[in-house]
Amino acid sequence: MSWDFETDAAFQKELDWIADFVRDEVAPLEHVLGSPWNIHDPRFELLVRPLQREVKARNLWACHLGPELGGPGYGQVKLGLMNEILGRALFAPIVFGAHAPDSGNCEILAHYGTPAQKERFLKPLLENAVVSCFAMTEPQGGADPNVFTTQAVRDGDDWVINGQKWFASNARYAAFYIVMAITDPNLSAYKGMSMFILPADMPGIEILRNIGVADDPEATHAYLNFNQVRVSADNMLGHPGEAFAVAQVRLGGGRVHHAMRVIGQAQKALDALCERALSRSSQGSLLADKQMVQEKIADSWVQLEQFRLLVMRTAWRIDKYQDYMKVRKDIAAVKATMPKVLHDIASHALQVHGSIGVSSEMPFVGLIVRAYQMGLADGPTEVHKVTVARQLLRDYTACDDLFPSYHRPTAAAAAGEKFRALLG
């Protein structure tokens, strides 16, 4: 028997330290600084760098990476417990060297990069001396790669790239972009696209505009244009046609890490909901005593616990199989569930807070918008539900008559015969 829901005492001590540090030192940063990816802001040097040094000294930097890349090599279960805490503060992922998209970009550079690419791009990224960007989505569609048109054409020793990318997060701060482009238009996108590493200052790369999410004052999602961008063949990451194989390495872990952080965000909303219910009275009794508020609290807790168990079981399965393809259904299920959990719990918390719940002084509107982002970034919810259903259906066969196998009259008759024989 190895079902176990306990955390080792030694690791719990680390988690307790992380929780205190995030609450006291990291969470306040979001009230002062803008985007966590804006490492060029002089205040970042003053306020964030010392915290990063403290995390490194405690050996908690980039915990998703193994010792060969400067991390402690935590498995996904440990990362899950840690990321739940990091999810509670906007700056926590960058303070702990675990911020997307750089964490995923580090993984693919480590996995597929040549020694020269690792030296030039991975090394500074691991240290957060630079930040990076991942550009796959195009203006005409992200959920279906077959509509992509950005193309790289071979010219001697170089590739020449033309096209546009859309919603490339943090491109404005990035030192380099990892870009997917068609290299063989005769094949499907899944076989005919390749990955390139493009330094941001290359001639021909232009940010047409930066797009913000909701009323975020700092627009950070870039609409990019590539006009005759000439890049050496040495800048290809992986082999020609391997873009989707490379992307899977970053997306598998990345989606689960987002989900782990969403647990922390939803927990934050649930904590606020409970505190509010216990502190506000209306019509002679506490909100906590009103059944419709109790229902919101109970539903939120149950939804969060269900989700947390699904995420942690998925983390455990990734550790067990060490193969994202074997855990595809679980990861897709987590990805498809996460937006609704965050949306529902943040909405309950908002409602019970009344007018201040919708105000800019509370995080709930932001969390609800975040829930919608989680249902789009790394692929829309619908597409992940399709994956769950397809993977599940693989384990079934069509029934050969009107009845499912358990309920066929022939099966019932055979069972009746068996028991009649036993009963004499």
Ligand X SMILES: Cc1cc2nc3c(=O)[nH]c(=O)nc-3n(C[C@H](O)[C@H](O)[C@H](O)COP(=O)(O)OP(=O)(O)OC[C@H]3O[C@@H](n4cnc5c(N)ncnc54)[C@H](O)[C@@H]3O)c2cc1C
Task: Take residue 369 and report the two structure tokens written for it.
Answer: 């918008």
In the complex with ligand X, the residue whose CB is nearer, 172 or 353, is: 172
Which stretch, 58-66, 124-132, 141-149, 299-307, contacts ligand X (CB under 6 A)?
Answer: 141-149
In the complex with ligand X, the residue whose CB is nearer, 82 or 168, is: 168
* Bridge partners, residue 224, by sequence: 165, 207
Of residues 33, 36, 32, 366, the one with CA closest to residue 216 = 366
In the complex with ligand X, the residue whose CB is nearer, 187 or 214, is: 214
Q: Is 369 in the site for ligand X (CB under 6 A)?
A: no
Which stretch, 38-46, 113-121, 130-138, 182-190, contacts ligand X (CB under 6 A)?
Answer: 130-138
Q: Is 93 in the site for ligand X (CB under 6 A)?
A: no
Least separation in angstroms between residue 161's CB and ligand X is 15
Q: Is 212 in the site for ligand X (CB under 6 A)?
A: no
Residue with the CB atom nearest ligand X in the bound state: 142
Q: Is 167 in the site for ligand X (CB under 6 A)?
A: yes
In the complex with ligand X, the residue whose CB is nearer, 169 or 300, is: 169
* Bridge partners, residue 216, by sequence: none
DSSP-assigned letter for residue 334? H
Residue from 7, 38, 114, 373 touching ligand X (CB under 6 A): that is: 373
Least separation in angstroms between residue 38's CB and ligand X is 16
Least separation in angstroms between residue 143's CB and ligand X is 3
Task: Take residue 3 and report the two structure tokens written for it.
Answer: 């079902």
Residue from 64, 99, 221, 308 touching ligand X (CB under 6 A): that is: 221
Q: Is 382 in the site for ligand X (CB under 6 A)?
A: yes
Helix axes 328-352, 381-393, angle to 10 degrees: 140
Size of the site for ligand X (CB under 6 A): 23
Strands 205-211 and 221-232: antiparallel
Q: Is 150 in the site for ligand X (CB under 6 A)?
A: no
d(CA 144, CA 296): 37
Q: Is 318 helix (H, G, I), strand (E, B) or coil?
A: helix
Residue from 48, 62, 130, 168 touching ligand X (CB under 6 A): that is: 168
Residue from 179, 377, 384, 388 touching ligand X (CB under 6 A): that is: 377
Least separation in angstroms between residue 141's CB and ligand X is 4
Residue from 101, 192, 339, 357 touching ligand X (CB under 6 A): that is: 101
What are the CB-based long-range contacts (under 8 Å, 24+) for 126-131? 126/62, 126/65, 126/69, 126/70, 126/97, 128/39, 128/52, 128/94, 128/97, 128/102, 130/39, 130/174, 130/175, 130/176, 131/37, 131/39, 131/99, 131/102, 131/170, 131/173, 131/174, 131/175
Q: Is 61 in the site for ligand X (CB under 6 A)?
A: no
Q: Is 66 in the site for ligand X (CB under 6 A)?
A: no
In the complex with ligand X, the residue whose CB is nearer, 30 or 158, is: 30
Q: Is 218 in the site for ligand X (CB under 6 A)?
A: no
Could you tell me which residues come within 8 angstroms of residue 260 by beta carbon, excluding any fewer than 6 positions away? 79, 80, 82, 83, 84, 87, 311, 315
Residue 151 has, within 13 A of its CA and on its CB side, a CA count of 10
Which stretch, 47-55, 89-97, 131-139, 287-295, contacts ligand X (CB under 6 A)?
Answer: 131-139
In the complex with ligand X, the residue whose CB is nearer, 97 or 142, is: 142
Task: Take residue 287 and report the two structure tokens written for it.
Answer: 């909100």
Q: Is 383 in the site for ligand X (CB under 6 A)?
A: yes
Least separation in angstroms between residue 222's CB and ligand X is 9
Residue from 83, 105, 137, 151 touching ligand X (CB under 6 A): that is: 137
Q: Is 173 in the site for ligand X (CB under 6 A)?
A: no
The per-residue b/e assignment along 79-113, b for 16 or more CB within 10 angstroms, e otherwise, is bbbbbbbbbbbbbbbbbbbbbbbbbbbbbbbbebb
Q: Is 49 helix (H, G, I), strand (E, B) or coil?
A: helix
The per-residue b/e assignment along 243-262, b for 16 or more CB within 10 angstroms, e otherwise, is bbbbbebbbbbbbbbbbbbb
Which residues form the interface with ligand X (CB under 6 A)?
101, 134-137, 141-144, 167-169, 213, 221, 373, 376-380, 382-383, 386
